[in-house]
Amino acid sequence: MDGFWVGSSFSASASLLNISALLLLLLPLVMGNVEANASECDMFTGRWVLDQSYPLYDSASCPFIEREFSCKKNGRPDLEYTRYRWQPRECNLARFNALKFLKKFRGKSIMFVGDSLSRNQWQSLTCMLHSSVPNAKYNITRVEDVSIFSFTNYGVKVMLDRNVYLVDTVMEKIGRVLKLDSIEGSKLWKGIDFLVFNTWHWWNRRGPTQPWDYIQIGNTTLKDMDRMVAFERALTTWGKWVDANIDPAKTMVFFQGISPSHYNGSEWYEPGAKSCVQQKQPLSGSTYPGGLPPAVAVLKRALSKIKKPVKLLDVTNLSLLRKDGHPSIYGLGGRTGMDCSHWCLAGVPDTWNEILYNFIL
């Protein structure tokens, strides 16, 4: 210990250097004990680290995983993409504990509402839960557009409402009308304990895959309009529904955030890459070179207008860093397709669910 004090053998500057070195050695030990506190820690700024204790489950042994997310079953030879853990800069995420989750939420329901990215997260959570309690009885049922995964021993329901715009698409005489001010589908969301919403993936669809013919805004019916303006108007309609219908004492509301795609390698300093195929590692560091998609700012602006509490799962940046996490040619389309929008399971959506877990426990 004498070396840390000023004495005949040590100058003041040397002592300060020794103290600094000691603090640097101790800092990881101190931070290692700091678990995420949702009200105090920024869980969305950090980096991806290899962790051999991951993945949380083997996708090949998850009996109900859909083909489009099951990259391992579809022949993806590299598995390193399953072994990355998200490390926030200022704290550690509590590791997902399925048994603790099921016991705490006995008799409760959680519903994901949105497009196929919501299905991606829903499938992730059901696999995370099943893998930890593989002998627990479960049922998978479907009622209209709602898929229900129930753990019967615990009375826990993990549900998915496929609703790509949140607002309504209605068949009328002129054709299919996307109504930006109508949200009748919300009747399915009442009485749920935890709601996780998402929309963005379909807002720029055009041509044969566009599921509407006209857009109605107020009393005006249009053939088309600025899609970003339409997106924000729909979010405003949804936000008004939240304010009018959600009792924060009974229901927690989350928004999944904007899940990004990787089709342009110039965004990550690899201009020769025209897709995510053969990408095997995340980007290092905490910042995506290509920046955030404009939809993020629109979403945050819309959320800021909602009076009731809505927690944003701000997964965009951490997901942007995972150019390696997509199915590419190991998804639904196989080698004739290229999926750089959805995510392999096990993989990135498991982290979305770990962050959700840290918020709600």
* Given the residues 168, 314, 324, 339, the one annotated as active site: 339
Do 75 and 104 form a contact (C-beta atoms < 8 A)? Answer: no
Contacts with 268 (C-beta within 8 Å, 6 or more apart), sequence order: 262, 283, 288, 289, 290, 323
Is 116 one of the catalytic residues? yes
Is 130 one of the catalytic residues? no
Do 266 and 251 form a contact (C-beta atoms < 8 A)? Answer: no
Do 189 and 111 form a contact (C-beta atoms < 8 A)? Answer: yes
Rounded to whole angstroms, the Cα distance separating 272 from 59 reads 31
> What one-letter code names the amino acid at 96?
F
Is 342 one of the catalytic residues? yes
Do 236 and 302 form a contact (C-beta atoms < 8 A)? Answer: yes
How far, CA to CA in Å, does 144 sit from each of 66, 138, 157, 188? 19, 20, 16, 10
Contacts with 236 (C-beta within 8 Å, 6 or more apart), sequence order: 302, 305
* Given the residues 116, 147, 186, 319, the one annotated as active site: 116
DSSP secondary structure code for residue 49 in this structure: E
Q: Which is it for strands 146-151 and 156-162: parallel, antiparallel or unpaired? A: antiparallel
* Given the residues 275, 328, 342, 350, the one annotated as active site: 342
Q: Give the active site residues.
A: 116, 339, 342
